[in-house]
A and B are shown apart, each in its own frame.
Chain A
């Protein structure tokens, strides 16, 4: 989904508001509600088995762009989790709004997603690969900046997972490994970047042998 969440490489942002080692990592939560997003996510995903973490990622991606950009991180988690509980039929948006004493905007509706399409033969470490030049309207774990770009496989995982484009929509999927693919910033952005490399963890269905 070519949404506003796909921020990698976007220009115009200012400095990161952080100086290295300047902060204690505690308190972990700064406000008394911030723990609720994650804990209710795992209630729904683990305890109740109503949805999965891929669906949560996609729910947040489905927030209207201005809503996404103007909401804080933990607020987006809460909105995404609430959206899923409503979509799965356990809660209603009206009741949430009533309890919150105000409007309760949720994620916009989602599309059908797509089937997994793992490569016929797994890629090997050292293989040169090209990221498939395709557009996907639903959930996908391929940041737009690598679309159509050429890289080298550094690692194939020993574990396997379901295809995000399917399970992010609540569909079933076979399990498959992912590949750590290294790109040069020259390949990704030409001269309009600092020299360096970027490694992206990609499902085989996003890749072709170069």
Chain B
């Protein structure tokens, strides 16, 4: 630990550790509390959870219907509810509609289903621009949608936490849920990407 060395520099790390130390001095930090919650944030909150929900909805029409009617109940079947995921609404993409999620005021995200939000989602650039220039922002990030696809941006301003239910790509007939879930990335769940079936000879996907 080089905390001592950092202290004179007055860094964000110094302030964070100072807050923790001050609370420990008061005796209000239960043994293992910070470590346990950090484990939950790092491991339990995971976009692979949302991917499993999407894959199930793609293969099971009843589950899909439940997910679109009561996203919280559908996610709860997997145990993917809790902090920042108490009222979940799934947004159904169609061939002519792309849903995109943002939190312009801070960073609200469905943690248990999507994982903690990535840096770019919390950036001033994304927060300021995606509501007003959705098509341009998506294009810059690599999703160039034809004009025939409408874009609907959802600003997470209260307690609803969203996830995007993408269109199942062609060429995935007969795939297992596990294979399907592998197509659903964190960015697909946020709505800035669409699931893509890698071509058999395509080795560039892993590299990027």
Q: Are A96 and B19 in contact (CB under 8 A)?
A: yes
Q: Are B142 and A100 in contact (CB under 8 A)?
A: no
Q: Are A8 and B127 in contact (CB under 8 A)?
A: yes
Q: Are B153 and A188 in contact (CB under 8 A)?
A: no
* Bound Cα distance A143, B41 (Å): 28
Chain B residue contacts of A26, Cβ below 8 A: 42
Query: Which chain A residue shows the least CB distance to B147?
Result: A195
Chain A window 178-210, contacts with chain B (Cβ cutoff 8 Å), 1 for yes, 0 for no: 101010010011001111111111110000000
User: A6-B104, A78-B12, A180-B160 are known contacts. Are A73 and B129 too (CB-CB below 8 A)?
Assistant: no
Q: Are A185 and B42 in contact (CB under 8 A)?
A: no
At the interface, yes or no: B65 with Cβ under 8 Å from chain A? no
Q: Are A99 and B23 in contact (CB under 8 A)?
A: no
Q: Which of A23, A60, A71, A91 contacts B106 (CB 8 A)?
A: A60
Closest Cβ–Cβ distance, residue A45 to chain B (whole Å): 10
Closest Cβ–Cβ distance, residue B158 to chain A (whole Å): 4
Task: Report B97-140 residues with CB < 8 Å from chain A CB.
Answer: 102, 104-107, 115-116, 118-120, 122-137, 140
Closest Cβ–Cβ distance, residue B109 to chain A (whole Å): 12
* Bound Cα distance A188, B130 (Å): 13
Q: Are B158 and A178 in contact (CB under 8 A)?
A: yes
* Bound Cα distance A29, B38 (Å): 9
* Bound Cα distance A90, B23 (Å): 8
Chain A window 21-39, contacts with chain B (Cβ cutoff 8 Å), 1 for yes, 0 for no: 1110111110111111111
Number of residue pairs spanning A and B whose beta carbons lie under 8 angstroms apart: 261
* Bound Cα distance A99, B28 (Å): 17
User: A18-B118, A194-B136 are known contacts. Are A85 and B23 too (CB-CB below 8 A)?
Assistant: yes
Chain B window 154-174, contacts with chain A (Cβ cutoff 8 Å), 1 for yes, 0 for no: 111111100000000000000
Q: Are B158 and A57 in contact (CB under 8 A)?
A: no
At the interface, yes or no: A72 with Cβ under 8 Å from chain B? yes
Q: Are B132 and A33 in contact (CB under 8 A)?
A: no
At the interface, yes or no: B29 with Cβ under 8 Å from chain A? yes
Q: Are A43 and B131 in contact (CB under 8 A)?
A: no
At the interface, yes or no: B150 with Cβ under 8 Å from chain A? yes
Query: Which chain A residue shows the least CB distance to B35?
Result: A39
Chain B residue contacts of A21, Cβ below 8 A: 142, 185, 187-188, 193, 208
Query: Which chain B residue shows the least CB distance to A57?
Result: B106
Closest Cβ–Cβ distance, residue A117 to chain B (whole Å): 16
Q: Are B153 and A199 in contact (CB under 8 A)?
A: yes
* Bound Cα distance A57, B125 (Å): 19
Chain A residue contacts of B30, Cβ below 8 A: 47
Chain A residue contacts of B132, Cβ below 8 A: 8-9, 11, 145, 185, 188-189, 192-194
At the interface, yes or no: A82 with Cβ under 8 Å from chain B? yes
* Bound Cα distance A119, B94 (Å): 34
Chain B residue contacts of A81, Cβ below 8 A: 19
Q: Are B124 and A202 in contact (CB under 8 A)?
A: no
Supply 17 A–B pairs (Cβ within 8 Å), ascending by A.
Answer: A9-B131, A18-B126, A19-B141, A19-B208, A23-B118, A28-B115, A33-B16, A34-B16, A38-B41, A38-B116, A40-B19, A100-B7, A141-B158, A180-B89, A196-B134, A199-B152, A199-B154
Contacts beyond the supplied A16-B137, A85-B22, A91-B22: 15 A-B pairs with Cβ under 8 Å: A5-B106, A7-B127, A16-B123, A18-B192, A19-B142, A29-B41, A33-B12, A78-B15, A91-B23, A99-B18, A178-B160, A180-B89, A180-B154, A180-B160, A199-B152
